[in-house]
Amino acid sequence: MYTIVNKIEYDIVSGVVYTPLYYISEDNTSGLVESINTDYDNSLGVWIEDNITDLESGVKDIEEFFITEPIVYVARTNSTTTQSLTELENKEDI
């Protein structure tokens, strides 16, 4: 089993775009998946949680988050194949 690392960004035409960039092997025990997801949770995750009412009512748009933080990474997709992606072994390589 592999965990796919997706880049999340905002495109004016497409909206929020998820792009698979890397895979992390289940043999990687360095805490890499957890570290990437903690960064996500502490950035976009917190922003959504803090603004959920305004987002749901249309007062705010998700685009506002990406003005100050144009790219976020998340590692929550599991796959049995690597989809021709590069293996990520260190977060610094993102």
What pTM value is reported for the model?
0.91
Digit-coded pLDDT (tens) for 13-57: 999 999 999 999 988 878 999 999 999 999 999 999 999 999 999
9 φ/ψ sector (left φ>0, alpha ψ -120 to 50, else beta): beta
Res 36: pLDDT: 97
Nearest to 39 by CA among 18, 69, 60, 15: 69
Q: Is 62 helix (H, G, I), strand (E, B) or coil?
A: coil
Q: Which two tokens stand for residue 72?
A: 């976020």
Q: Where do the structural domains in the chain lie, given as residue ranges?
A: 2-80
Nearest to 32 by CA among 75, 83, 84: 75
Which residue(s) pair with 79 in the sheet?
2
Give residue for tokens 């072994």: 89
Beta strand spans in 1-94 (E): 2-11, 15-25, 71-79, 86-87
